[in-house]
Amino acid sequence: MKKLIMLGTGLIVLALFAFTSANQQTPWPVPDAYKNKVNPLKGDAGSITKGKELYNQHCKSCHGTKGKGDGPKASQLDTECGDFTKAAFQSQTDGALFYKTFEGRKDMPSYKKKIPDAEDIWAVVNYMRTFK
């Protein structure tokens, strides 16, 4: 009986560990060359409007209308979309956000071909800043 209880406890601990590990975001390192890039666009109305247009076309289906990671496709992904309204997201440099959008990773596709004009990606970064 004691062995059975120990086995059951072990299985519960293993299941909790697996669940916790699967739901943790792995770090997404950004090369210094990108992290330190300065956004060449001012966050003015024109840039934000362009960024919103591109965001709605390319990003909203996963990241949601308000950037909370709750778009209609988010539940189909293996990785968490992230919440653009959180301080952890907003504290990243513009260069880091540009890099992640440009290069992609896992479920997050690369946009270097989908949005080939770098200025347009910078405009999306400016729009993402409005989700504070």
Report the CATH number that the domain containing residue 66 is assigned in CATH.
1.10.760.10
5 vs 73, residue with greater confidence: 73
The two structure tokens encoding residue 26:
């792995």
Specify the 3-state DSSP secondary structure of 57.
Answer: helix
pLDDT of amino acid 92: 97
Q: What number is the average pLDDT over the span 70-82? A: 94
Q: Looking at 21-30, 33-42, 65-74, which range is the least confident one?
A: 21-30
Domain of residue 120: give its range. Answer: 28-131
**3-class state of residue 108 by DSSP:** strand
Does residue 7 belong to any structural domain of this protein?
no
Does the residue 47 lie in any domain? yes
pLDDT per position as a tens digit, 25-36 = 689 999 999 999
Q: What is the pLDDT of residue 11?
A: 43
Based on the structure, what is the number of domains in the chain? Answer: 1
Residue 85 domain flag: yes
59 inside domain: yes
75-100 mean pLDDT: 96
Q: Is residue 9 situated within a structural domain?
A: no
Asked if residue 86 belongs to a domain, the reply is yes
- Whole-angstrom CA distances from 57 to 13, 24, 85, 87 are 43, 28, 19, 25
